Structure formats: C-alpha cells, structure tokens
Amino acid sequence: MIVPMKKIAVLVQEKDASRTVDALRGLGVVHVEHAQAPQGQAVGALRDDIALIDAAVSILAEEKFVKAAGQKAVVWLPIAKATGSVAQEAPQDWKFICKHIIDLRKRLEQLEEYSRLLKKRIAEWEDWGDFDPDAIQRLGEKNIFIRLCQIPAKELHRVPAGVMVKTVFTVAGLAHCALIARQKIELPFKEITLPKLGLEKMRSRLDEDGRMMEVIQQDISKYMVYRRSLEDTRKNLEKELEFNEALCGMGKEGSITYLRGFVPVNALGMLKLAAQHERWGLMIRQPGEEDNVPVLLKNPRWVTLIKPVLNLLGILPGYRELDVSLPFLIFFSVFFGILIGDAGYGLSYLLLTLWFQKKRAASFKKNNVFLLFYLLSSCAIIWGVLTGTFFGQTWLLKRGIKPLVPALNDPVAMQTFCFFLGALHLSMAHSWRALLKFPSLAAWADVGWVCVLWAAFFLARTLILAQPLPNFVAGLAWCGIALVVFFSSPHKNIFKAIGRGLSSVSFGLNFMSTFTDVVSYVRLFAVGLAAVAIAETTNAMTASLGSGPVALITGIMIALVGHMLNIVLGPISVLVHGVRLNVLEFSGHASITWSGVAYKPLKSV
C-alpha cells in the first residue's frame, strides 16, 4: 500500500533555523520540500566536493586500475590511518588525494593521446626509413635543399634538370621521392611536410611514454586502498549537503522562518511531540492536487520481493495511483516461468543464486534480491516440470518421461492460455479501479472495459486460432461499449454523458488497442518456444556427433555453449517482455503513469 502523507510546515524564529533543521534530521521523518531553491556558499562548496570525490572514485573504478592494484584492491584503509609509500608521498587529506588522482588521470590521457598520434606518425613514415629532420634543415642553411615529394611514376621525367631524384618507395603508382638541389626551386608536385622527429626518435619517445604510462597507472592503483574511505566521505558530505539544502531552502516571512515537507500519517505523533518540546509552530494539512507528494510503499515482507525490480527500472507509482506491487510480483513470476520454460535452466538459476549469496551476501543490506531469484527460479522449475522440459524435451520423451500437463505443449492450447492470461491480467487492473471508484457511477465504465477485454479474448481465439466465436460475444462487446460510453464521464444530462464518453473512447482507438493488448500476451508463448527450440537444436547437434572421445569433447562444448546461450538470454527476454506486460499493458489499463517521487526523509544516518 501507499502510505498516506500529510503536508506540514514547521515555523520558527530565524535564529533557531539551524537548530530546528538539526532536530528534524534527528527525527528522520520529514521529506523536505524546498520553499526556495537552495543556494549559498556552503551548498556550492559541498556540491563541488561531492563532484570531486565522484570523479576520483569513477577513476579508481576503472577496470585497468583495479587489475593493476591486484590484492591491494581488496584492502580498504581510512585516509587518516594510511601507511606505505602513498601515505608518505601525500598528506592525509582526501581533497589532495582526489585532485592527485584526477591530475594523474589527465596526464595519462594526454600520454595515451600522444602515443596514438606517434603510432600514426610512425606508420606514415616507416617506409621512408630513419632520418634526422634537423639535419635536413641544417643542410638547407648550407644551400643544399632537400624536398620530400609524391610524384606520379609516369611524370618523373618532369623533374627539372639539376635536381637529383631519389625514389624511396612507390605505392599505387605514386613515387615517394627525395629531391636534392643547390637552390630553392618551385616544384609542380605534392610536397610532404617533414616530421618534427625522426623515425627512431619517435619509436624511442613511444617506448618512453609507454613506460611513463605504466608508472602513472601503478601510481593511480596505489590509491585504490582509499576507495572505500572516499565513498564513506562522500556519504557524509551528502548528509551535510542535505542539511544545508534544507536550511537554505527554508522560506521566510519577516522574522519567521519555515520548513515545508511531507510526513507519513503514522509518524505525525512523533513530530507533534517534538514540536511541543522545541516550541515550534506546526501546520498540518492534506496535500493538494498541485503538490508533488512523495511515495512510501509499505507491504508485507513477501510482497516487497518485487522491490529490486522496481529499483532496477527506477519506477514508482504516483501518490494518487495504485500500488501494484502484489499483482506485479505474481504475474512477473508467472511470466518468468513461461519465458524461461525449462526446469534445467531454472535449477541453474537457483544454484547460481545460492553460490552468489554465499559469495556476496555481505554486500547487500537485505536478502530481497536473493529471495526474488529463488522465487523466480522455482517458477521456471515448476513450469519445466509441467511441460516436461529439462534442458530440452525430446530426450525426456524418448526415455518415457512425459509432461504433467501435456496440453501446455500444444501450440493452440498454449496460445489460448496466453490470451486468457492477458484478459485476466488486464481485467484485474480495471476491476481494481472499479472498486476504488465505487460507489461513483464512473466505476461502471471499468466494468465495461472488463466486458470488452473478454470479448477481445474470444475474438483473438477466432481470428488467430480459427476457433468458433461464441454467440454471446457480440452482446458482451456491445454491453461493454455501452457502459464505457455512458459512464466514462457521468452526467445528469444523458446526451452530455454520451458525448463525453465518445470523446474519451477516441473514436474506437481505445477499443482496438484493447484487442492488441490482449493479443500481445502471445509473446510469452513465442519467446518460450524459441528457448525450447534452441535447447532442442543444441541437443540434436550434440547427439549427431556419434561416439568416440573427440565426439564426446565436441558434444560437451556444443551443449555448454548452446545451453549457456539460453541461460544468458533468458533473463534478458524476461526484462524485455515480462517487465513490459506489467509496466506498459497492465499499468496502462490501471492508469498508472509511474510518476512517483520516492519518500526520502531528512535524517542523520
């Protein structure tokens, strides 16, 4: 459920503003709404400090520095307690460390760019061989002029008399020549500008830069021991920034300063007690339609399993919308089982989750991610058992192992089930909206949409699967259309109600989209079938190799590659299709825009 909020304003004298914000931070229940844009020297400085740490930490997170650090990457030292060469070279100041890391990275980028340029120049001049450009310049001072030119091989005879021609190499009919003369002459050929360095000097400089880049890379990797400390420092700075933004964002009316925000209804008592103790003025009211109220979801622990998915997608229902965590979790789990569709793959995900939890459980504050994957893996195992699929189907059938529900392997029955699942899923969205609207007459419009959805289900069976259309479908569709037209915007004047209803239907576009939404659930069957096809093809290729050690090794490699492909692509298909059916189709029918702002109270920890 979405926790109800109250909009509050805490009023104090200007001299007590800082102490008040600190006290509210200690309570940890007020989501601050700034009365004015937070500005000021302290705010600006803190933002700059956070940006500085972000830049340094992002550098330390680069793979090449982590690899260069080796075992040092897993040692985390507080900046104030660091030892070793890095501590001796730098003062124990995180700003110095961050700036030094950034400066080293810039120097490394410059060397990398110059090295790329040198490699390009070396490739351009390699065919010319090594020479000293400065020597050519000195010869010019003694009236011996050397020019490097590109001359078409057929036009070498056009070189003026008295000019010595030395062809160095020829490419694509172009002779690359050195022209030597006792006086300056104008040549009708393309002249090549001399490089600043000779070939050997360029190679030497490239080697020197390479060694310097290795040194800098090692220097940066030494600072890997500070990464955790820098991240902790960033968290502390963020808390200070939050405090200063709340302070600078307070409104002012004469000598009175006020802080606005939102508080969960169940935390109002705590705020009232604090206001009495601190002698604050406190205003409490219901949020208005114009308020951007933050969202706090509170559900049973098993329902919160879906939270990692919502966090990954960065979505949250609006304050005045439905909390669809429960249906999202249920149908997402079902979709996962159908899309993966193999007990062997489900078991693989289960074992991988067990292994990852043992290795990285300490990195997660809660076990929701692991519990979610246990649930999803179990759904894939259950669906695989029902359809008789364990790393493919055929090899099980040959051994007399039959699926528990053979109908799930029938294409027509499976597509019908997908259409049914779609109609059921979307009907739940409208039924929920109808319950929330009741006793308003507008609830009947959602009942109408439920009728239209089931009419679309039967129509999909007829048009796509060539199943007979029941006689009652036409009546069901017309009944649904009538309810939508009459009750989408109820009015005492029946003609106005019909006019508004027709406008809301957008001349039938909504009805057509309802049909396509139901049909779109067939993607569950199609993607699941594709996964089975890959598994069957892999098994067939493996079986066709025959016997012998070479065939055995080759078969194992083919089986590993084919099934690993399915194991990797499976979660991607779930993110694309399973998430879409919940976030777009279902949410569209439930009028959920996912425009919510997360509840983030001002707090000290």
166 in a structural domain: yes
491 confidence band (pLDDT: 50, 70, 90): low
Assigned domain for 220 exists: no
Structure tokens at 264: 């969960």
| C-beta separation of 415 from 522 below 8 A | yes
pLDDT at 429: 92
Average pLDDT estimate for 241-270: 92
Which tens digits make up the pLDDT trace of 361-378?
666 667 788 899 999 999
Assigned domain for 7 exists: yes
CA 147 to each of CA 45, 166, 171, 215, 540: distance values in angstroms, whole numbers, following the listed order: 58, 10, 18, 40, 69
Q: Domains in the chain: how many in total?
A: 2
How would residue 546 be classed by pLDDT, with cut points 50, 70 and 90? confident
The pTM (predicted TM-score) of the whole model is 0.77
For residue 15, tell me if it sits in a domain: yes
Give the residue from 153, 143, 210 showing the smallest Cα distance to 181. 143
* Domain closes at, from 158, 176, 197: 197
Tokens encoding 498: 């019909």
Does residue 270 form part of some domain? yes
Question: Model confidence over 278-318: pLDDT tens digits?
Answer: 999 999 999 988 889 999 999 888 898 999 898 888 889 99
Q: pLDDT tens for residues 410-422?
A: 999 999 999 999 9
* Domain-ending residue, one of 156, 171, 197: 197
pLDDT class for 497, splitting at 50, 70, 90? low
CATH number of the domain bearing residue 285 = 3.30.70.240
Q: What is the pLDDT of residue 506?
A: 52
Distances (CA, A) of 289 to 8, 21, 25, 286, 598: 15, 27, 27, 10, 18
Please give the pLDDT value at position 396.
Answer: 84
pLDDT band of residue 504 (cuts 50, 70, 90) is: low
Q: Which domain holds residue 179?
A: 131-197
**Which string of DSSP letters, residue by residue, matches 503-548?**
HHHTTTHHHHHHHHHHHGGGHHHHHHHHHHHHHHHHHHHHHTT-SS
8 domain-assigned: yes
The average pLDDT across 121-143 equals: 89
Rounded average pLDDT over 250-274: 92
| In-domain check, residue 31 | yes
* Whole-number pLDDT of residue 544: 84
Kindly write down the DSSP assignment for every residue of 331-379, as one continuous string.
Answer: HHHHHHHHHH--HHHHHHHHHHHHHHHHHHGGG-SSSHHHHHHHHHHHH
pLDDT of residue 294: 93
pLDDT exceeds cutoff 70 at 338:
yes
- What's residue 362's pLDDT? 64
Q: Is 25 within the bounds of a domain? A: yes
| Strands 597-598, 294-295: pairing kind | parallel
CA-based nearest residue to 423, from 591, 589, 577: 589
